Amino acid sequence: MRARGDPAAAAAPHVSVILPVHNAEPWLNECLESVLQQDFEGSMELSVFNDASKDKSMTIIEKWRVKLEGSGIPVVIGGHASPSPRGVGYSKNQAVAQSSGSYLCFLDSDDVMMPQRVRLQLEAAARHPTSIIGCQVRREVFTSNGPTVIMPTWFCSRAWFSHVGPFDEGGQGVPEDLLFFYNHLRKGGGVVRVDQSLLLYRYHPNAATHSVLETTIWTHRVRFLEEWVLPHWAAFTIWNAGRQGRRLYRSLTAGTRRKVVAFCDVDENKIRKGFYCHEDSQERPKPRVPILHFRAAQPPFVICVKLDLTGGAFEDNLRSLHLQEGRDFLHFS
């Protein structure tokens, strides 16, 4: 086990690992083991906030506290024992408030960090002080090259977090990470990804993400799209003439819908139909939007095709157009 600097450095941790916990007994041992195994040689602390756990989470945390502190990693523990949890947003805010590191490494209690995570993300954060740093993730069965900054991978400076935050504390059903991310973008924040798999991300029936309705997330995402991106485009194409593309079209305000000049796809059956008619529209005549092959369509595109689901075919098609993300297209799905 490596040495972790001098005692003075330990008094002012450089990196705080932020760990909210609620009934995490099945996963905590692996999670905390991964904190201990970090190859980062600077000063680091673990800040745990227990959100009314009713299982043996605290017993496990106290056991690991001894191991971690014996290895030079201070552990700060807070929490409450109310009958009901107060939510992930509240727990993250409390864990941040009781911590002292100049950088924050967010960790979910059911995930596992690779040994180089803190070291590599700190290097990136030091170069990009107003960015959220993400990474690739491994989902037990595959590695994702998709979304840059899913919440369990976040790493940023405390100064930037304080500028953007805190998290929404509305509790169950509130997508606190999505709302924080949109505030981050509104304030000019950037997004940087370390292109290595630095986290084992577990998606299971008890995950907190299931408490947020899909329709709630969809509504927030559409409204932000209309606020932040689409006002800058005079016209655009929706890439996907299927269910998700049509759903996005129907979710837009009437003024934004009028900017949609076409759908595009690779499905010959959809293309042969020639157009999509929005039957529920109150407009007369009802809007009829052309459906084109993607090579016949004009950017910018709002892409409603999920990544990693077509064996690379979609990604190859997109690359073949030599477009610039942010200017010529953006991913919505």
**SS percent in the chain: helix, strand, coil, step 5:** 35, 25, 40
* pLDDT higher than 50, residue 2: no
**How many Å apart are CA 252 and CA 257, to the nearest integer?**
6
* pLDDT higher than 60, residue 148: no
**How many Å apart are CA 41 and CA 5, to the nearest integer?**
7
User: Bridge partners of 215?
Assistant: none
What's the confidence (pLDDT) of residue 207? Answer: 52
Averaged confidence pLDDT in the chain: 89
Q: What is the mean pLDDT of residues 236-260?
A: 96
> Pairing relation of β-strands 143-144 and 260-265?
unpaired
**How many Å apart are CA 108 and CA 30, to the nearest integer?**
12
Q: Assign 149 a pLDDT band (cuts: 50, 70, 90).
A: low
Q: What is the pLDDT of residues 73-107, one digit of tens each?
A: 999 999 998 999 999 999 999 999 999 999 999 99
What's the confidence (pLDDT) of residue 59? Answer: 97
In terms of average pLDDT, the best of 219-223, 291-295, 325-329 is: 291-295
pTM of the model as a whole:
0.79
Q: What is the pLDDT of residues 160-215, one digit of tens each?
A: 999 999 999 987 788 999 999 999 999 999 999 999 999 998 764 555 554 568 88
What's the confidence (pLDDT) of residue 213? Answer: 81
**How many Å apart are CA 98 and CA 131, to the nearest integer?**
23
User: Bridge partners of 134?
Assistant: 193
What's the confidence (pLDDT) of residue 132? Answer: 96
Q: Assign 151 a pLDDT band (cuts: 50, 70, 90).
A: confident
Question: Residue 133: which of 93, 49, 189 has the closest Cα?
Answer: 189
